[in-house]
Homo-oligomer: A and B are copies of this chain.
C-alpha cells in the first residue's frame, strides 16, 4: 500500500465523477467498436484466405484491416475492463454475460499479431547476436524493437547474409513454426469474426452504444471509490513483486530456471503478467474518471511499456525453447536457440529493471 501512486487522489478536489460518466465512456467505446467492425468488413476481412497480404485488396487494404482489428481489440478491452472495475453499478446479469465474450474475442484477435511480432523480435535478436544488424543498443528504458502491428504482410525479415549456419537455421526454423502459427491464428480470427458467437457479441455491443444498463442508483454514484479500489489492487500486486531484486542490475534471476526440467519453467513471470493486466485496468479506470482527454501519465506509460516488453520477451524466450525441442535439429541450430533463449530471458530481466525504475519514479515523484 505504501507504494501506491496518486493519480486519482491528486485530483480528488475536482468535480465528482458519477455513473453517468461511465455510461458515456461505454457508449463511446461501443461506438468505436462498431466503427472498427464496419471498417473491417468493408476491406473484405471476412473473406480473406489468410495466406498473405496479397490475398484480398492489396497491401493498403490489408493495413486498414490490421488497424481495424487493433481498434476492435482496443475497445473490447476497454469495455470489458470497465465492466469489471465498475461492476456494482451495472446490471449484473447483463455485465457478466458480455465480459467473457469480449475476452474471448479480444484474445482470439490478438494471436495473429502476437505471432508476427514474436517472430520479428526473435529474428532481430538473432541478427543482433550475430553482430550483423545495426540495431541500436537498448539501455534500460522504453521497449526494444517490437512489431508495430502494421505488418499484415510478412514481418520485416532482417538481413541473414552474415549469420552462422546455426543462427540461420534457427531463424528458418522459427520462421516456419511461427508463420504457421500466425497463419492458423489468422484463419481462426476470420472464422471467429464470421461466427454466430461473434454476431451475438456485436449485437450486445450495439445495444451498449445506445443504452448502458446501469443500476438505478448508478447515475448519481461517485465512481472514484471503485476506481481507487482498482488502483489499490494494482498497488498491492506491485508490492508483492520482488522489486528489490529487480532494481539490482544483473541480478541473474530471470534465467535461473532456464535449464530447468520443468516444462513451464518460469512461474516467476506470472505475477508480472498479472500486474500488467491490473495496470491496464487502472489506466482504463482513469480514462473513465478523468475522461480520455486527460493528460497521459508518462510514468505509468513507461511502466506499462516495460511490462509489455516483459511479456513479449517472456513469450519469445518460450518460443525459442519450444523450437529447440523440435526433433532431429542440428546441434548448431540447438546451440543458437539456447543463446537466443537466454538473450530473451535477459530481456525479461531488463524489463523488470525498467519497470522497477518507472514505478519508483512514480511513487517518489508523487506529492
Contact = CB atoms under 8 A, between A and B. Distances in A.
A367 interface: no
Contact of A255 (B252, B253, B259, B339): B339
- Scoring A128, A250, A333, A346 by chain B CB atoms within 10 A of each residue's CB, the highest score goes to A250
A157 interface: no
A251 B139 contact: yes
Interface string A234-256: 00000000000100111111011
A126 interface: yes
Q: How many copies does the complex hold?
A: 2
A187 interface: no
Contacts of A331: 324, 329-331, 333-334
Q: Which of A262, A324, A329, A350 has the most CB of B within 10 A?
A: A324
Contacts of A257: 129-131
A263 to B, nearest CB: 10
A265 interface: yes
B343 A261 contact: no
A262 to B, nearest CB: 8
Given A250-B353, A342-B346, 7 more contacts: A130-B260, A137-B252, A249-B250, A250-B250, A324-B335, A335-B341, A338-B341
A167 B324 CA distance: 14
